[in-house]
């Protein structure tokens, strides 16, 4: 497992170098979002294997005072993709947003972030839960409705 977060920001710079950003201002916005997230990880003294729901909730709560909700949701999407990059590069074990999405069978990452922003995140996440229909249930319900 490689070391992240890094003090010099080289991992963020490497990630930004991979992106095909059309506008130079985008790079500044992306860097701002990623550094703010990394700063929370450093401040909370999380190790690379401990980037979890708690650190996401702390980052989101701190950023609600700074950014409009639409900006915060956009920056959360940037952080989510960065977390995917960190997983691919073996800097972290898993992306906590992807983990929550899989656990609650949510339709989107944005829904997970909105749930984490709710006054009661546990209840909001449970409300997202999408129960998967089994193949037998689907076949049975189709047979019943066709009668």
| Amino acid 45: pLDDT | 76
| Amino acid 61: pLDDT | 96
Write out residues in the chain with pLDDT < 50, as ranges.
135-136, 140, 146
| Amino acid 6: pLDDT | 85
- C-alpha 120/C-alpha 144 separation (Å) is 39
| Amino acid 50: pLDDT | 67
Residue appearing with tokens 């130079």: 24
| Amino acid 135: pLDDT | 47
| Amino acid 28: pLDDT | 94
List Cα–Cα distances, 115 to 3, 49, 86, in angstroms.
30, 23, 23
- C-alpha 22/C-alpha 13 separation (Å) is 16
- pTM (two decimals): 0.84
Q: What is the DSSP letter of 115?
A: H
């Amino acid at each position: 497992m490689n070391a992240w977060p890094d003090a010099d920001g080289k991992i963020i710079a490497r990630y930004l170098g991979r992106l095909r950003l059309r506008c130079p201002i985008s790079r500044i916005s992306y860097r701002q979002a990623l550094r703010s997230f990394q700063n929370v990880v450093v401040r909370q003294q999380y190790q690379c294997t401990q980037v979890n729901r708690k650190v996401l909730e702390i980052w989101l709560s701190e950023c609600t005072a700074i950014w409009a909700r639409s900006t915060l949701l956009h920056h959360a999407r940037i952080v989510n993709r960065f977390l995917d990059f960190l997983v691919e590069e073996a800097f972290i074990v898993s992306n906590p947003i992807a983990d929550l999405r899989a656990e609650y069978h949510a339709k989107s990452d944005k829904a997970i972030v909105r749930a984490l922003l709710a006054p009661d995140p546990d209840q909001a996440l449970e409300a997202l839960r999408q129960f998967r229909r089994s193949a037998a249930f689907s076949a049975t319900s189709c047979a019943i409705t066709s009668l």
